[in-house]
Structures are given as structure tokens and as C-alpha cells.
């Protein structure tokens, strides 16, 4: 019985290309008490592996958080399986605005303590006492209200390439970091201001809204379905788009364009650019913004040191990496001092 992915990303990419079948990239989440996450995880893997589902799925006692792609011919079977699970029946699926058959190259279903690393003790507040969900039309109305405080609940590398007009964009590395900063900044306006939050697909705001209500905020709202659903509604209903730039996504695409605005800059030369990449040096793999000119000049690397290492034969690179960790660079997402135009 196969319970884990056995193919490399390159092997899977070759299979996808050979199949010639269009794939659909989607995301969804649901907070729900799952008694045995490991059993549920194994069930999902066995079923979805048969349907050629690929993606990154987290399962915990508190629910499920999924970003994945499924072959278009298997979508109905996939949806039927979701509907067979009581708490996922008729769940809203955020369908990617820009499709890419290579958005995911492995199926990873992992059991975690939480479906989002929020660092909160859920026993200290009622996580079901959530804020008011609003659609794109109501959201547009709210953010024009002078009594509204609009907050981006994402991390710095996400909001750097795209965010709503006039939004507060905390310069943080993690979701947990933003919670206390926002509370402190708004401590004198918990009763008289409307706190309106948004994130990629809604999952971070779901928990944050309950947390802020627990902290004394009286008027808490969240954009239902996040930026992904907002973009869909704006286009389908002909609403004014108040989002600038790209929406960062957590797959190989790294971003979906929401407006033509380019609000970020290449971290190496400073020219207008909002394309994220990972440093080609496997010992670094730093996430940063790089324009096409710098990509060519730097061989897709973040620094001359990485460029030199990346030019070495593979076995020499492997020897240099042995016994060394690079997670600090990876998870700082563009904080490296070698990036002279990081703002």
C-alpha cells in the first residue's frame, strides 16, 4: 500500500507533459474537529493519489488546509469524494485565476499540530466566534469608509508584490508576528473602528478574526475567500478592482496577476519587477524578486558567491552542502543582506 509520494519533481513533470492533460489548480480549507488526523490523512492520500492529485495538504485536529491540482477529467470524481466527507460537502473551492499544469509536482499530505502556524493557544478563546464574512462588493464599500482600518494578514514577501489600496501591510516574516503588532497599533480603536482583514484564501483571517474579537475588537470583518475569490467576483460582477499588483501563491507559479500595476522592484537592480524566484544554488534557495536581465546576468542566483557555487560540478556543490543547514535563508524570504534593493 503506497502512502507516500515516490516520484521526484522532475519525474512527475515529465509525466504531466507526456499526458498532455489540462490540470486545475485549487485551494480550500475547513476548520473542523478531526478525531484521528493520521487515519484521515492516509485516506486522503490513497484516494487522491489514484486521481493523480498533486499538492500540499495539511491535516490537524482542527481541520484541513489544501492547495493542490487535479487533472481536469478527474475533477468531478475529486469533487464527489470531497462531498462524501461530511464537513467538506459543498465546500467552496478557490479555483486559481491563472492555471499552470506544473503548479504542483508532488502529492504531500502531512499531519500537523495546526493547519496554519498561528502560534496561538486556542483554548484561551472561542475560535468559532468569528468576524463577519463579506463579499467583494461589501468589502469595497467597507474599505472606503473612513472609520475602517484595512489590514493585510500576510507576510512581507506576499504584500510586497501586491496588496489592496491603503492597506496596512505589517513587515513580518510570519502570520503570528502580525497579530500582536496589529493589536498594539489599534489598541485605542477597538470599539470605534471597523477592523477589516484579508489574506490569500481566507484561512488566516478566519482564526485572526476570532482572536481579535476575543481581544476586545467590536467590529471585525474578513474578506470571504480572500484575494482569490475577490478577483473572481470583481471580474464576474464588473466591480471596481481595488487590489494592486500580484497575489502571491504557494506553488510553483508564485503569483497570480490581479492588476497590471507593478508595485515591487527587483531586489538586485531596483527596476520595476514583481516576479519571485528561488536562488539556483541549492545550498541557498533564497526566495527573492529578480528581473529577467538580472536572471540572465546572475544565472538565476541571488549573489556572486551563489553564482560561483552554482557553476561548480554537481558533486562539488553537494560536498560543499554536506552538513550545512540553509533554513534560515529560506524562511527569511528575501531578508538576505546581499539583496541591495530589498525594501
pLDDT value for 335: 78
pLDDT (mean) for 50-78: 96
Q: What's the whole-number mean pLDDT along residues 171-200?
A: 92
Q: Please give the average per-residue pLDDT across 285-298, as a whole number.
A: 96
**pLDDT attached to residue 340:** 87
CA distance 165 to 162: 9
Are 299 and 279 in contact by the 8 Å Cβ rule? The answer is no
Domain 9-111: CATH architecture, name and number where available: 2-Layer Sandwich (3.30)
Global pTM reads 0.88
pLDDT of 326 over the 70 cut: no
Report residue 318's pLDDT band, with 50, 70 and 90 as the boundaries: confident
Neighbouring CB atoms inside 10 A of 160's CB total 25
Judged against a pLDDT cut of 60, whether residue 330 lies above it is answered with no
pLDDT 10s digits, 108-155 = 999 999 998 888 888 888 888 999 999 999 999 999 999 999 999 999
Nearest CA to 178 out of 113, 263, 118, 245 is that of: 118
Residue with the larger pLDDT of the pair 333 and 174: 174
* Identical fold, 9-111 and 125-232: no
DSSP string spanning 248-295? --SSTT--EE-SS----B-TTT--B---EEE-S-TTT--EEE--HHHH
pLDDT tens-digit readout, 213-269: 999 999 999 999 999 999 999 999 999 999 999 999 989 899 999 999 999 999 999
Domain-wise residue ranges, the chain: 9-111, 125-232, 276-332
pLDDT band at residue 331 under the 50/70/90 scheme? very low
Please report which confidence band the pLDDT of residue 272 belongs to, taking 50, 70 and 90 as the band edges.
very high
What pLDDT is attached to residue 8? 87
Instruction: Give the 3-state secondary structure of residue 54.
Output: strand
Q: For 80-90, how does the pLDDT look when each residue is reduced to its tens digit (9 = 90+)?
A: 999 999 999 99
The residues annotated as belonging to the active site are 199
From 249, 245, 243, select the one nearest 287 (Cα to Cα).
Answer: 249
Provide the CATH number for the domain formed by 125-232 in this structure.
Answer: 3.40.250.10
Mean pLDDT (whole number) for 51-55 = 97
**pLDDT at res. 120:** 86
Question: What is the mean pLDDT of the segment spanning 16-32?
Answer: 94
The percent of residues in the chain predicted with pLDDT above 90, rounded, is 78
What is the structure's pLDDT at 343? 64
**Model confidence pLDDT, tens digit, residues 64-75:** 999 999 999 999
Find the Cα–Cα–Cα–Cα dihedral 57, 330, 268, 316, rounded to 10°.
-110
pLDDT at 325 > cutoff 90: no
Amino acid at each position: 500500500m503506497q502512502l507516500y509520494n515516490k516520484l521526484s519533481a522532475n519525474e512527475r513533470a515529465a509525466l504531466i507533459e507526456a499526458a498532455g492533460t489540462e490540470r486545475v489548480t485549487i485551494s480550500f480549507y475547513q476548520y473542523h474537529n478531526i478525531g484521528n488526523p493520521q487515519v484521515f490523512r492516509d485516506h486522503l492520500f490513497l484516494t487522491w493519489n489514484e486521481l493523480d492529485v498533486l499538492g500540499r495538504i495539511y491535516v490537524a485536529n482542527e481541520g484541513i488546509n489544501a492547495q493542490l491540482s487535479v487533472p481536469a477529467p478527474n475533477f468531478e470524481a475529486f469533487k464527489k469524494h470531497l462531498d462524501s466527507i461530511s464537513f467538506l460537502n459543498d465546500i467552496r473551492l478557490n479555483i486559481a485565476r491563472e492555471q499552470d499544469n506544473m503548479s504542483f509536482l508532488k502529492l504531500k499530505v502531512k499531519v500537523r499540530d495546526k493547519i496554519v502556524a498561528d502560534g496561538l493557544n486556542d483554548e484561551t478563546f472561542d475560535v468559532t466566534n468569528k468576524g463577519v464574512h463579506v463579499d467583494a462588493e461589501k468589502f469595497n464599500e467597507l474599505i472606503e469608509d473612513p472609520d475602517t482600518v484595512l489590514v493585510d494578514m500576510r507576510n512581507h514577501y506576499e504584500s510586497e508584490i501586491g496588496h489592496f489600496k491603503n492597506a496596512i501591510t505589517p513587515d513580518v516574516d510570519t502570520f503570528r508576528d502580525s497579530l500582536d503588532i496589529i493589536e498594539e497599533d489599534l489598541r485605542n480603536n477597538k470599539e470605534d473602528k471597523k477592523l477589516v482583514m484579508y489574506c490569500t484564501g481566507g484561512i488566516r483571517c478566519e482564526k485572526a478574526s476570532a482572536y481579535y474579537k476575543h481581544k476586545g475588537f467590536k467590529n471585525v470583518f474578513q474578506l470571504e475567500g480572500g484575494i482569490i475569490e475577490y478577483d473572481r467576483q470583481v471580474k464576474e460582477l464588473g466591480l471596481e478592482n481595488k487590489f494592486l499588483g500580484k497575489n502571491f501563491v504557494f506553488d510553483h507559479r508564485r503569483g497570480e496577476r490581479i492588476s497590471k500595476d507593478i508595485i515591487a522592484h527587483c531586489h538586485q537592480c531596483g527596476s520595476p519587477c514583481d516576479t519571485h524566484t528561488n536562488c539556483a544554488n541549492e545550498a541557498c534557495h533564497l526566495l527573492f524578486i529578480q528581473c529577467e536581465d538580472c536572471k540572465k546576468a546572475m544565472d538565476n542566483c541571488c549573489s556572486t558567491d551563489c553564482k560561483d557555487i552554482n557553476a561548480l560540478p554537481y558533486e562539488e556543490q553537494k560536498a560543499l552542502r554536506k552538513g550545512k543547514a540553509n533554513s534560515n535563508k529560506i524562511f527569511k524570504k528575501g531578508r538576505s543582506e546581499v539583496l541591495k534593493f530589498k525594501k
